[in-house]
């Protein structure tokens, strides 16, 4: 092939939309970046909050979780953390699990586990807050 006419694996529309030859796009990459940025202030808030409540009684911690702002931030932290972890694990599984069926089943299992744990944690916070 000459340098003037390189092989293109994308259609012109795919190049405009940012889609690769597999039509996968950059969705996972963006999700990882957005959740990382969202987790940065939430993680700092969470660590500082835990540090400030070291030595607090159970009742004080329950009251802290029951405060509406803390409950919303805690639920946000939980949901975004599990979304970030699930997307990261999916990339690892796509890269390292051999065979289409084992890869698909492992990704589905990780996604289901992340959803289940996120819902259980969020419901726990809601139960305390409400």
Q: What is the pLDDT of residues 55-96, one digit of tens each?
A: 999 999 999 999 999 999 999 999 999 999 999 999 999 999
Q: What is the pLDDT of residues 36-62, one digit of tens each?
A: 999 999 999 999 999 999 999 999 999
Tokens of 92: 């690892």
pLDDT over 60 at 130, yes or no: yes
pLDDT over 60 at 23, yes or no: no
Tokens of 75: 């639920």
**pTM, rounded to two decimals:** 0.79
Least confident among 15-29, 84-98, 108-122 = 15-29
pLDDT at 22: 56
- In what helix (H) or strand (E) does residue 92 lie, and over which residues does it extend? helix 68-96
Confidence of residue 26 (pLDDT cuts 50, 70, 90): confident
Contact 7, 45 (CB under 8 A): no
The DSSP symbol for 4 reads T
């Amino acid at each position: 092939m000459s340098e003037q006419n390189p092989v293109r694996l994308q259609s012109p529309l795919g190049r405009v939309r940012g889609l690769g030859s597999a039509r996968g796009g950059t969705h996972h990459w963006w999700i990882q970046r957005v959740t990382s940025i969202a987790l940065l202030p939430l993680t700092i808030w969470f660590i500082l909050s835990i540090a400030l409540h070291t030595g607090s009684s159970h009742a004080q911690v329950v009251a802290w979780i029951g405060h509406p702002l803390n409950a919303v931030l805690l639920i946000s932290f939980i949901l975004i953390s599990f979304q970030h972890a699930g997307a990261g694990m999916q990339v690892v599984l796509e890269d390292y699990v051999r065979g289409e069926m084992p890869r698909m089943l492992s990704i589905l299992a990780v996604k289901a586990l992340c959803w289940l744990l996120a819902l259980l944690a969020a419901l726990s916070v809601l139960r305390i807050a409400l």
